[in-house]
């Protein structure tokens, strides 16, 4: 991959990472409730799923993902996951007054749960799969070896996306002290929960 091609891909990666979506909503939600350091595992799950998607598409295994039936199944699964996650966030119990004085607004999630929720949110996002299927072939130079190009593109996308997700999480964590009251926690839960439900419903709409 030439330097010019890589620069063009880097610009696209930056624009993609900045664009709001389920991943950024989740990063902000966990950053606000869990703190940005603990949200790193959520983001690690997101990036792991993104890496697997890019590798599958780049190596040709992604041809399965071009099947209308496969895409529909992923869209339905992704919508169900986001709606369930949004509903769970909306209905999350309000901490007691003692918990409200702690450093986080809700009881911390386990490390495994943070990773899995991040992974599932990205892995079941059919819009990301369709976007990558249409994007990656445009930057792969057929006269050069595929493997180095695929590694470079994947590392570039993951680095940019991980940095942006941490920015979202860190920014949200800075206002933790403002949302420790039960009323504010309820508003926070319903705001992020509603956003995730709407993201899930949007997956069922035509691309």
Q: Write the pLDDT tens digit of every residue in 19-30.
A: 878 888 899 988
Domain membership flag for residue 11 = no
Q: Write the pLDDT tens digit of every residue in 144-175.
A: 888 899 999 999 999 999 999 999 999 888 87
What pLDDT does 65 receive? 61
Q: How confident is the model at residue 66 (pLDDT cuts 50, 70, 90)?
A: low
The count of domains in the chain is: 1
Residue 188: half-sphere exposure toward Cβ, Cα within 13 Å? 28
CA–CA distance, 73 with 79 (Å, rounded to integer): 10
Q: Choose between 191 and 104: higher pLDDT.
A: 191
Domain membership flag for residue 2 = no
Domain membership flag for residue 8 = no
What pLDDT does 42 receive? 94
CA–CA distance, 181 with 120 (Å, rounded to integer): 30
Domain membership flag for residue 5 = no
What pLDDT does 64 receive? 61
What would the two tokens of residue 158 be?
Answer: 């993951």
What pLDDT does 200 receive? 79
In terms of residue numbers, what domain contains 40? 25-94+105-203
Domain membership flag for residue 150 = yes
Domain membership flag for residue 196 = yes
Q: Write the pLDDT tens digit of every residue in 81-121.
A: 888 888 887 776 655 543 444 444 455 678 899 999 999 99
What would the two tokens of residue 146 be?
Answer: 């595929």
């Amino acid at each position: 991959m030439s330097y010019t091609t890589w620069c063009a891909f880097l610009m696209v990666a930056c624009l993609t990472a900045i664009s709001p979506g389920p991943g950024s909503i989740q990063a902000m939600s966990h950053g606000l409730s869990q703190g940005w350091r603990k949200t790193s595992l959520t983001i690690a799950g997101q990036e792991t799923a993104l890496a697997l998607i890019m590798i599958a598409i780049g190596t040709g295994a992604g041809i399965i993902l071009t099947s209308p039936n496969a895409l529909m199944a992923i869209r339905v699964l992704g919508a169900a996951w986001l709606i369930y996650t949004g509903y769970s966030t909306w209905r999350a119990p309000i901490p007691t007054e003692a918990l409200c004085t702690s450093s986080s607004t809700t009881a911390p999630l386990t490390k495994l749960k943070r990773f899995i929720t991040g992974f599932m949110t990205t892995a079941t996002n059919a819009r990301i799969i369709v976007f990558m299927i249409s994007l990656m072939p445009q930057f792969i130079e057929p006269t050069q070896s595929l493997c180095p190009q695929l590694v470079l593109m994947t590392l570039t996308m993951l680095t940019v996306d991980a940095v942006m997700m941490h920015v979202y999480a860190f920014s949200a964590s800075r206002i933790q002290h403002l949302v420790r009251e039960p009323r504010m926690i309820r508003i926070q839960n319903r705001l992020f929960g509603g956003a995730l439900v709407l993201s899930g419903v949007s997956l069922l709409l035509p691309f």
